[in-house]
Every structure is written in C-alpha cells, then in structure tokens.
Amino acid sequence: MTPERRIKARSVVEFVAKRYGVSLGEITGRRVIRSIARPRQIAMYVIREACPHLSLPQIGRALGGRDHTTVIHAVRKVESLIAADPVFAAEVTTTLEYFRGLPADPVDLMLTAQIDAASKHLEALILEARGRIAMAGLATL
C-alpha cells in the first residue's frame, strides 16, 4: 500500500508566485491589484484541487490569513475563467498537472536528488582511493 501523498499549501503558493513573477510577500499580502490577485486566486484554486486534506480556512491562512469565503470566491472565479478562456484553462491545468504528477513533496524530491548526487560523489571518491592504494601497493613491490 502506497502512503498518501500530501502536497503542502506552501509549495503551491511558492510555485504559483514564481510562475507568475510575484514575490511570496505579494501573493500572501493585502494588495488587490490584478497582477497579484489573479495568481493568488489561482493558488487558492490549485490548493483546493491538489490538497483535499486542507480545509477552506487552512487555505485562507496559507495565503495571508484570508477568510474561507474569500477562498470560495477565488475558486469560483477561477472556475468561471477556466470555462471562458482556453488559454487561462491551459495555464491552470499545467499548474495542477505539475502537482498531481509529483510522486512526493517537492522538498522531498530535492532532498532525494541531493542524496543521490552525494552518494555518487562518495562512490567516485572511494574508487579513487582504492586506485591510489592499489598503485601504492604496486610501487612498493
């Protein structure tokens, strides 16, 4: 049995902020200009879809302490934009697919990659040391 994969709201918020060129402070902040509010709404929608273990108040807290009704409004707004605009729908779908396709939390993936790289480096160092020991043994004969 595979353990349940839980995506963290923070991972979604960071990804969406980076994708839309806004800072984490802006996406969780109080400004309501469209260039910031739209990515915030997308983040709320993606969290709602990709993180079924999170409640509406938890999603609101992840995005700067917003009320659960704000999250409901954002989800409905994004749903209506998806229905009306195929380009927007493709953007949101791509973001959702990124999180649905992950085998684990993105931080865990990064850690796994770092461990793999370190293991390969260590193996190379061990082989090099064995080669030096072998060469030193041959030189003394």
Q: What is the pLDDT of residues 63-105, one digit of tens each?
A: 999 999 999 999 999 999 999 999 999 889 988 988 887 554 5
Instruction: Calculate mean pLDDT across residues 42-52.
Output: 93
Q: What is the pLDDT of residue 85?
A: 92
Q: Where are the domains of the chain?
A: 6-102, 103-141
Distance in angstroms (rounded) separating the CA atoms of residues 83 and 109: 33
pTM of the model: 0.68
Q: What is the pLDDT of residues 96-136, one digit of tens each?
A: 988 887 554 555 555 655 676 777 778 888 989 888 888 87
CATH code matching the domain that covers 6-102, chosen among 1.10.1750.10, 3.30.70.100, 3.10.129.10, 3.20.10.10: 1.10.1750.10
